[in-house]
Chains A and B, each alone.
Chain A
Amino acid sequence: MLFFRKRINDDNELKLFAAQKLMALDDRINYPEKLSPNKIAEHIVPVKGSRFNYQRTIRYSAALAVCFVFVVGIVLSLSVLKKADPSAFVNSRGTLSNNNVVQAASTVITAKNYNDVVSAFETIYKDNTAYNRQNTDMGLAVQNGNAKSTLAQAQTDTNLSVSDTSDHSTTNLQVEGVDEGDVVKNDGSYLYTLFNNKINITDVRDPKNMKLISSLNFDNSNAVELYVYKNKLIVVLNCCQSIVSSSDNKTADNSAADKKAVASDSIRIAYNNQTKVIVYDIADRSKPKEFRSYIQDGNFVSSRMIDNYIYVASSYYAYVKDTGKFSAEEIVPKAGENNNYKMIPAADIYIPKEPKNASYAVVSGINTEDAGAAVSTVACVGSAGNVFASLDNLYLTSQRTVYSTAVKAPDANDKSTANSTANNKSTTKSGAAANGAAIAAAAPVQSTTDIIRFHLKNGKVTYTGACNVDGDTKNQFSMDEYKGYFRIATTSNSTEMTNNLYIFDSNMKLAGSIAGMAKGENIHSVRFMENRAYIVTFRTVDPLFVIDLTNPKAPKVLGELKIPGFSDYLQPYSDNLMIGFGKDATESGNMAYYQGLKLSLFDVSDPLNPKELFDYHIGDRGSTSAVLNDHRALLFDKNKNIIGFPVTIMKLAEGAKNDIHAYGNFKYDGYYVMSVDPSKGFTFMGSVTHLVSGKQNDLYSQGLQMQRGAYIGDVLYTISNAKIASSSLIDFSKLGELSLPYSSGTGKYADPALESAAGSAGSGVTAETGAQK
């Protein structure tokens, strides 16, 4: 027996050893494009545009959810009833109500000390005994997923100092003045590109003779996006991956008898990320110098930059023992400069009164001009999904699912962990049983989104309130702030899919709402413009809703337009015109099959009667553009009257022309530039490709898939992973070309600090968790 135990410990050490060794390989993998979720979607999705049959779906999911409740029964009911706010369910059925939203400003409190944090986690743990397994299995992965789906950033630079050419493109931003990071930045003289963990700075002032000036390598991390602000280049990385092991004695799918016996040899290897911001001084573009850096725990979620302050959000999951007893060291996220990386002070940690997720959203504000300025970091127990930032506030969504159950809640879940500032011990939540009855009658599964608001001021991040709405947000464009009011559009997915719009005042109190729009459909895109909201939903046709928000207390649907297809992104063109970027679709029974790409020009001058003035179709079924998922890939300039975007075009074979199910074959990958005219619609101006061979395989293997476009004056620069090409924006003749180091690195400016940080931080965490075993 003794021998046996020793062997188990050995195995755990061996496992960690192997995982560490494998990281040498992991770090270098170029993940093949053909396996990316987008590409896979083309294989797995015969009818993407169609929303499946809702009637059936709903009944099925209801039945399923009921089964689920019985199977996982107790586990869930504990946490479920607690989070189920009965009024939220009223709303889910489409009732318009002003009382249906949790007034959460008072439901989040600051931790007085780490004990508050610990007790919050212990409650979460108790609430959900399946917790450890779910989170070790899924927690990190989901965080990664979030990070990807919410990287809604861009390439802009509002205040330039290097450039004397003010006529150049910047990133397509949601909010003017709130910069978003991207993989390409353009300052009018240089292009800054970030692909494969390498930043290249290219002097493009002479388009016929572009020169690679310098490179930065981030070999041990995953560099996500960059900013350029005056003479600073800022890169945001997911890095310092450390291996943590976590014990696990619950395997859900197995009879439990012998599991206890072998439980002790069951450790999981899990990976924890940190998010790192490095600021480089690029006064000399050929010699970037590290100016300051900052690390915070958690996977990168999103960032914004306002003036010289960058705000970074990450999502941190604390791996814990499955004993249900935690120490502060185990669960409190850390942050700091390289030499001062430590636990976030309790006073900067916010805990919802009823904490649900065993993870944190971590937000920091960093001054990129003053290396000595203190960095403000706050953490909020909960998760981080989509991020919207205005010039003053940052809103962070945290989506979760509420499960209803017919099982009455035992009193055990009446405990509230996080103590309000007034009374220190747990408060009793009355009426849970009564709530239970209401819930039982309501939808079995209901998604809900918590929104946390942080005030941003010169790098200082302050928690200023929270609220909760029904449904999910689609992306950052689902949110907006105007004249102190926060607006958010969601899709609820309970008994029937419906869409909602909520408006909150500056105290995060609900001012007004519209619930139950477009039953059976979900939101494809949203755009708020001052007193209007435009919402595109889709099932078989595309209703574009025009909603008047002039009176925040009484938002009103003015008009709707039904046309074939859907827009995944809405670009305001002028006060009354809007460009829709999406896909065409062909109806067939109660389904619709998406077809090629489609651009629409909408006229909303008569809001009661929106019109589609023009449309433009590109390619057949299977054609795609990065813009569909990432607004940063779009180049739009009204004064220059251009709209540019990368496309991959598929064409149907002759025989398949009339088959709405058929996919086209690869035809073209490149950059399209069109002009938009309110009286003439879209006109194709020209295109540029990097794929000389025309072979689809080379796109991915040689890194030639078009990523972004940018312009300076009358020169168009098109950028793929491996190449920058310059062309005339007048006649699209080729001016020059520069190959970027694609998979090979010079390593000239490899960042030694990064590696040492990875080493120290990484081993620290590993040693800590390792010691528990």
Chain B
Amino acid sequence: MSENSRELMERAKNGDPQAFGQLYSEVWHDLYRFALYYLQNKEDAEDAVQEAAVEAYRCIKSLREPDAFRSWIFAILTRCCHHKIKTIILQKHNTSFEELEQQGVFAEAKSENPDDKLAVWNALDTLGNDERLVVLLSVVGNYTSPELSVMMKKPSGTIRSQLHRGLAKLKTMLSEQ
């Protein structure tokens, strides 16, 4: 499979939009999940992913390591999300879960465990921005903590403790259910 990706990468780097599209199609669900959980509202999440995709295509030639498309585009997306939080809206304006359901972001609650996802959503909301970021990059983005420390230019100790704190908080909040 990785052979496939490498071949695609070569083509994408040469500007082949179809190859890029295929690479993108392999990660877009994860990109959107990540942006949605991080920004917690539909428009910003969609914008961020779209911006990240456009930006990724624009500068794909700068991607040196052919195997790293996934983590590379996640890094771009992270920047786009940051941009949303820091400059455009100044603060995260998250939407309530019910609202999002009405907007069709999520399919409606199942009868079996309607509270479950609400709890997860609210737990994510409770985390600080930085904690939420490292938790999501680690869990959704498949980053390991050494990779996170490279990407976020922070000492690995800092990342590890942020990650641990975030994960531990989630566990505490969600175990009470």
Residues in A lying within 8 Å of B, measured CB to CB: 7, 10-11, 14-15, 17-19, 21-22, 24-26, 28-32, 34-38, 40-41, 43-45, 48, 52, 57, 60-61, 64-65, 68, 71, 130-131, 133-139, 141-146, 148-149, 196-197, 219, 248, 251-254, 258-259, 262-263, 265-270, 315, 317, 356-357, 359, 383, 385, 399-401, 445, 447, 472, 493, 701-702, 743-745, 747, 750
Query: In the complex the two chains form, is A31's CB within 8 Å of B29's CB?
Result: yes
How far does the alpha carbon of A19 sit from the alpha carbon of B167 in the complex, in Å?
10
**Interface centre among B6, B11, B18, by most A CB within 10 Å?**
B6
- In chain B, positions 19-60 with a C-beta closer than 8 Å to chain A are 20-33, 36-37, 42, 46, 49-50, 53-54, 57-58
Q: How many Å from the CB of B127 to the closest CB on chain A?
A: 10
Given contacts A52-B15, A383-B4, contact A262 B26 (CB under 8 A): no
Number of interface residues of B (CB under 8 A): 80
- Indicate if the CB atoms of B116 and A24 lie closer than 8 Å: yes
Q: Which 5 A-B pairs have the closest CB atoms?
A: A266-B144, A134-B2, A14-B167, A141-B26, A400-B3
Contacts A251-B147, A258-B156; is A445 near B20 (CB within 8 Å)? no
Can you give 23 contacting A-B residue pairs, CB < 8 Å? A17-B170, A25-B106, A28-B110, A29-B32, A29-B33, A35-B31, A37-B22, A41-B21, A44-B53, A44-B54, A130-B67, A136-B142, A141-B27, A145-B23, A145-B25, A253-B147, A269-B138, A269-B142, A383-B1, A399-B4, A399-B7, A400-B3, A401-B3
A252 lies within 8 A of B65 (CB): yes
Write out the residue numbers on chain A whose beta carbons fall within 8 Å of the beta carbon of B103: 701
Beyond contacts A137-B142, A253-B150: 17 other A-B pairs, Cβ-Cβ < 8 A, are A10-B164, A11-B160, A18-B135, A29-B36, A29-B106, A31-B29, A37-B21, A37-B25, A37-B28, A45-B57, A64-B10, A68-B66, A136-B142, A253-B65, A265-B144, A357-B3, A493-B7
For residue B108, which residues in chain A have a CB less than 8 angstroms away from its CB? 743-745
B171 shortest CB reach to chain A, Å:
5
Residues on A with C-beta less than 8 A from B147 are: 251, 253-254, 266
Establish whether residues B142 and A270, one from each chain, have CB atoms under 8 Å apart when the complex forms.
Answer: yes
Which of chain B's residues 93-140 have a Cβ closer than 8 Å to chain A?
Answer: 103-108, 110-111, 113, 116-117, 120-121, 123, 135, 138-140
A493 touches B17 (CB 8 A): no
Decide if B106 touches A262 in the complex (CB within 8 Å): no
Query: Chain A residues near B152 (CB, 8 Å)?
Result: none
**Chain A residues whose C-beta falls within 8 Å of the C-beta of B14 in the assembled complex:** 52, 57, 60-61
- Which of A11, A40, A315 interacts with B164 by CB under 8 Å? A11
Docked-complex contact B53 and A266, CB < 8 angstroms? no
Residues of B within 8 A of A29 (CB): 29, 32-33, 36, 105-107
- CB contacts (< 8 Å) of B17 on chain A: these are 41, 44-45, 48
Does B70 belong to the interface (CB within 8 Å)?
A: yes
B156 touches A262 (CB 8 A): yes
* B5 contact set on A, CB distance < 8 A: 134, 138, 142
Which B residues are CB-close (under 8 A) to A701? Answer: 103-104
Out of B15, B31, B36, B111, name the residue touching A747 (CB < 8 Å). B111
Given A19-B139, A28-B107, A134-B2 in contact, is the A14-B25 Cβ separation under 8 Å? Answer: no
Task: Report the minimum CB–CB distance from B121 to chain A (whole Å).
Answer: 7
**Cα A750 to Cα B111 with chains together (Å):** 10
* A135 vs B1: C-alpha distance when bound (angstroms): 7
The CA of A357 and the CA of B105, in the complex, are separated in Å by 37
A60 (CB) vs chain B CBs: closest residue: B14
- What's the minimum C-beta distance from A614 to chain B, rounded to whole angstroms? 28
